[in-house]
Amino acid sequence: MYEESLRVPLIIYDPRAPAINRGRSEEAMTLNLDFAPTMLSLAGMTPPAGMQGRSLLPLLENQPSPGWRTDFFYEEHFFPTKIPPSEGVRTERWSYIRWVDEKPVSEELFDLKTDPLEGHNLAADPENAKIIAGLRARWEKYREELK
């Protein structure tokens, strides 16, 4: 869930787009699971109910996107022998990681605003108790929603 492996550029080229929508940069939080709903929308189809992700079409068309995500759930369980299983929540400012197989569970908290290279784990800092409690609660809610 570290910034360098999580954040990758996304470039979309649509030759049908009007000139006003070309060459723009968008700061919205997008995920690879948005690709399928976007492709379905571009094909004039409605993504099926329950499909994760959101169509990027409003962003591509420079339309207001109220309610766009400001955080997301992360999980890595695919290669447990290479990458220890982890889950977490990423917001625009905070990165919260739980190493779920460690006993006791190990946590990491990074303030991406003041520490963009994620070099200082703030999880045990009492000053961040409310922040980490809120991110834990958000993590638990996501786990329930995504079962």
For 9, half-sphere exposure in the C-beta direction (CA atoms, 13 angstrom radius) is 3
Nearest-angstrom CA–CA distance, 70 and 131: 15
Coil/strand/helix, residue 31:
coil
Query: How many Cβ atoms sit within 10 Å of the Cβ of residue 100?
Result: 16
pLDDT at 89: 97
Name residue, tokens 């809120």: 134
Residue 122's pLDDT band (cuts 50, 70, 90):
very high
| pLDDT mean across residues, the chain | 91
Read off the pLDDT of each residue in 128-141 and give the average, rounded to a whole number: 97
> Looking at residue 50, what is its pLDDT?
86
Q: What is the CATH number of domain 71-145?
A: 3.30.1120.10
For residue 26, pLDDT beyond 80? yes
Q: How confident is the model at residue 132 (pLDDT cuts 50, 70, 90)?
A: very high
Side chain identity at residue 118, one-letter code: E
130-136, long-range: CB < 8 A, 24+ apart:
131/94, 132/96, 132/107, 135/89, 135/91, 135/94, 135/96, 135/109, 136/96
* pLDDT: which is higher, 107 or 20: 107
CB atoms within 10 A of CB 34: 20
Question: Residue 47, Cα to own-chain centre: how many angstroms?
Answer: 20
For the chain, the domains span 10-60, 71-145
3-class DSSP state for residue 146? coil
Task: Average the pLDDT over 5-20 and give the result.
Answer: 86
Q: Give mean pLDDT, residues 23-48.
A: 92
